[in-house]
Every structure is written in structure tokens, then in C-alpha cells.
């Protein structure tokens, strides 16, 4: 039978019947009035089921890492090391649910996947501090629990930095022959190195309630026009499913703690690109960089800079997602899945 990629993509992007509340998408979208009251109503008890899907809920669990709870989502009932494991690492302020269409795509292709809520985000426990390399160690401990000998790394935004650090630290522990960077930041974030910025990060980490006040009263009060939505979505369609995805993202946004955001910025670790290039010079790792052409958070120029700086002989590919912003999986899930299937899973119509 001929493989029908379009049918698979359509199925994995379909959300009708997925919410645990068992309500239709139209009913859910109609429940939440956009505007100043949205941030309050979307925190209600019922919202937890409105914006939790069957696919995620059926595969989610919490694992213990040194006394701290980390939520993971996986389809690794078969713990065999023979099969590759797609390891998904989200970005600053994200959570594993942001990969939902891609997780369903990988699952539909009978591939193993593992995604996690980074410490302090989603439903994972908070830490006192968030040194980036310690976070990477935690990701490795979780991967080890699932016998991940062969790994395909997939990072989004800040998760691209974590992915790069993971590859540098553990490329000899795991067989990593593919890396996917979704909406990567610039190679070097000089903005985080200035003294004034460092003082601002420290101040925000010590007094996060000030930023919480700003977010609640001056940003999230704008509802779906808030920065956490406008900066992540560029697609202006107003279909029910698109509005649902924006509400889903907003539901996640209002639960993010400012202290955690500043904690990650405080613990940020630059990538040692020279060392990474030395590793890539002696390995056969393939790199796929995907970025939306309307990404205002991590513009496509940052992705181009990364690809152009890598060794010439390395197998690398820059993929532009048309009419797409920063949140590639929620903004244009269908096109993102099709391109991922073609360039990463080597599947086509």
C-alpha cells in the first residue's frame, strides 16, 4: 500500500475529540472570552481538562530525579535499545505539550519518543537554581531511564542550546546521528553578557513578583493580544482549531513563574562552537535546522548563521517553514509535520 503522508499529517494535527473535558473545540473556544478577563477564567478548574489532550495524558507520567519530580511523555513501553529515541527538549517558558503534533507524528511512524517538562516548567518541580549544564545532566538521567542508546535530538528555541550542550557532553555515551534545531536563537547571545542585563536578571530572580505584576496587569490582561501569543504566532487565521491552539498556549503561559524564567537566564551557558565543530569533524551527525519565515523571536537569520558556520563537509540543511512564527508546532502544525517527515523521518508522499 502506498504511504499517504498527507493523510497521516491530517490525522496527527486533528484535535477534535482530544480534550479530556470531552467538549468540542467550538464549545471550548466559546467558553473563553478574549480580553482582560481571559487570564483569570483560563486558570479555572475546568480549563485543566479543556487544555489537556488524550494523547498527552495517556502517555504522561512523573519520574524522580534526585528527589525532584519531572513530567515526561513517551511511548517507550518497549525499552529496547535497538530502536532510536526521539528526544524533545522545549525552550524557555515552554513545556512538552508544545511538541504535540510532532509527538503524534513520530508515534504514527512507529518511532519511539520522549519529551519532558524542564525543571520549573509545565508540571515539573521547581529548583532553587537552574544552571544550564545541570539541567542537561538531568535530561541525560531521564534519557538513561529509558535505555536511550540511539537518540535523535530535537530542540526548540532555548532547547537548541540545551540540545547542543547535551550533544557535546554525551555524544560518546549515545549514538546521536541526527540533530534537529527548531527556531534556534543566535549562535552567541551577546545580549545576555552585558553588566546591566546581568544585574537586571539578578534583580528579576530575587524579586520575581515585580515581573509577575507586570505580566498580569500590563501584558496578560491583553488576552490573545499579549506578547506571549503575538510573539509566538504569525498565522492570522481565525479558525476554531487555530484559536484553540492559541488559547492552549495562553493557558500554559499564565502558569509560568517569572522566577523560573530569570533562573534559566541566570544559569545560561554559552555554546562552545569551536569544540562542537571539532566533534562534528569526526562524526557523521546530520543537522536539520527549521525556522518559520515570520519568526520575530528567533529570526531566520539566526538559523542561517548557524548553518553557515558549520563545517563544509557536514550534512546540514536549513528548512524554511512558510507563513510561520516562533511556535512552529502550534502556528503551522500541518506544514511543520510535513517538512519534519520529509527532512527528519525521510518520509514523503
Q: Average of pLDDT values for 49-60?
A: 97
Residue 130 has pLDDT above 90, yes or no: yes
Active-site choice (157, 183, 226, 258): 157
Residue 59 has pLDDT above 60, yes or no: yes
Question: What is the rounded distance in angstroms from the CA atom of residue 235 to the CA atom of residue 288?
Answer: 23
| 170 vs 80, more confident | 170
For residue 157, indicate whether it is catalytic. Answer: yes
- Confidence class for position 340, pLDDT limits 50, 70, 90: very high
What local confidence, expressed as pLDDT, does residue 1 receive? 45
The sheet with strand 68-74 has its strands ordered as: 60-65, 68-74, 112-116, 85-89, 150-156, 175-182, 286-292, 316-321
What local confidence, expressed as pLDDT, does residue 349 receive? 57
Min mean pLDDT across 32-46, 125-139, 204-218 is at 204-218
Please provide the average confidence, as pLDDT, over all residues in the chain: 93
Domain topology for 5-18+56-235+248-343: Rossmann fold (3.40.50)
Q: Average of pLDDT values for 24-42?
A: 96
Residue burial 26-41, b: 16+ Cβ < 10 Å; e: rest: eebbebbebeeebbee
Q: Average of pLDDT values for 220-240?
A: 90
- Say what the pTM is: 0.96
Question: What is the rounded distance in angstroms from the CA atom of residue 21 to the CA atom of residue 5?
Answer: 30
Amino acid at each position: 500500500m502506498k504511504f499517504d503522508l498527507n493523510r497521516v499529517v491530517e490525522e496527527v494535527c486533528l484535535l477534535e475529540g482530544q480534550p479530556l473535558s470531552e467538549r468540542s473545540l467550538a464549545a471550548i473556544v466559546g467558553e473563553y472570552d478574549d480580553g482582560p478577563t481571559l487570564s483569570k477564567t483560563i486558570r479555572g478548574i475546568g480549563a485543566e481538562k479543556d487544555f489537556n489532550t488524550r494523547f498527552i495524558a495517556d502517555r504522561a507520567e512523573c519520574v524522580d530525579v534526585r528527589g525532584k519530580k519531572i513530567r515526561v511523555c513517551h511511548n517507550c513501553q518497549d525499552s529496547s535499545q535497538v530502536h532510536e529515541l526521539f528526544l524533545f527538549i522545549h525552550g524557555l517558558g515552554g513545556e512538552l505539550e508544545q511538541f504535540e503534533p510532532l509527538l503524534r507524528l513520530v508515534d504514527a511512524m512507529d518511532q519511539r519518543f520522549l519529551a519532558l517538562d524542564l525543571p520549573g516548567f509545565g508540571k515539573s518541580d521547581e529548583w532553587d537554581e537552574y544552571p544550564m549544564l545541570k539541567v542537561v545532566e538531568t535530561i541525560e538521567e531521564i534519557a538513561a531511564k529509558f535505555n536511550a542508546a540511539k537518540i535523535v535530538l530535537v530542540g526548540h528555541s532555548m532547547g537548541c542550546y540545551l540540545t547542543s550542550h547535551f550533544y557535546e557532553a554525551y555524544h560518546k555515551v549515545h549514538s546521536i546521528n541526527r540533530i534537529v534545531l527548531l527556531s534556534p536563537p543566535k549562535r552567541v547571545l551577546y545580549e545576555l553578557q552585558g553588566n546591566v542585563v546581568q544585574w537586571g536578571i539578578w534583580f528579576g530572580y530575587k524579586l520575581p513578583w515585580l515581573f509577575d505584576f507586570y505580566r498580569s496587569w500590563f501584558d496578560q490582561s491583553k488576552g490573545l493580544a499579549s506578547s506571549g501569543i503575538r510573539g509566538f504566532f504569525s498565522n492570522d487565521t481565525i479558525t476554531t482549531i487555530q484559536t484553540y491552539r492559541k488559547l492552549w498556549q495562553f493557558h500554559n503561559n499564565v502558569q509560568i513563574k517569572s522566577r523560573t524564567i530569570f533562573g534559566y537566564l541566570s544559569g545560561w551557558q554559552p555554546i562552545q562552537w569551536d569544540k562542537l565543530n571539532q566533534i562534528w569533524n569526526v562524526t557523521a551527525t546530520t543537522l536539520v535546522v527549521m525556522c518559520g519565515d515570520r519568526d520575530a523571536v528567533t529570526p531566520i537569520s539566526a538559523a542561517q548563521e548557524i548553518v553557515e558556520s558549520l563545517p563544509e563537509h557536514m550534512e546540514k540543511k536549513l528548512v524554511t517553514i512558510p507563513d510561520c512564527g516562533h511556535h512552529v508546532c502550534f502556528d503551522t502544525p500541518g506544514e511543520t509535520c510535513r517538512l519534519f517527515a520529509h527532512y527528519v523521518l525521510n518520509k514523503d508522499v
